[in-house]
Amino acid sequence: MRPADEDLASRRPAWEALSEMFLDNDPALSRQWRAERLAGSPYSLDQLEHILVDEVNPVCRYNLMPVAGEWAGFNSEWLEARILHRLHSPLRFLHRLAMRRLAPDLREEWRATRDAIVASRGAGPKGT
């Protein structure tokens, strides 16, 4: 998989779709949209999980904290800037040591999203 800053045209829609999992609402409501968008991406399921865990989660996870309040969505320019800033941080190795794994409820939602991606790819010409 190419580095994020060399693959922005494909990464942006994936970031946007995956960031929907971090909004203050039921992520299952946007699962089908998210799965269809991700199914159309050039990334494998493992690559999508990497993007979720190592790129989107570290930037968006704080939105799920109780003090964050209700959030309608992430500004795509902000999301891209924060992800790229974090990926280019000289302290990136410390970020990997920090809480980089998904919270249990997000792991469940990711499993359901993966299943929906597989189903969507199986129904279309791309396959799994």
pLDDT in tens, 16-46: 999 999 887 888 999 999 999 999 999 999 9
95-126: per-residue pLDDT in tens? 555 545 677 788 999 999 999 999 999 975 54
Higher model confidence: residue 4 or residue 101? 4
pLDDT score of 33: 96
pLDDT at 80: 92
Instruction: Judge contact between 12 and 28, C-beta under 8 A.
Output: no
CA 35 to mean position of chain CA atoms: 11
Of 69 and 122, which is predicted with more confidence? 122
DSSP letters for 35-63: HHHHHTSS--HHHHHHIIIIIIHHHHGGG
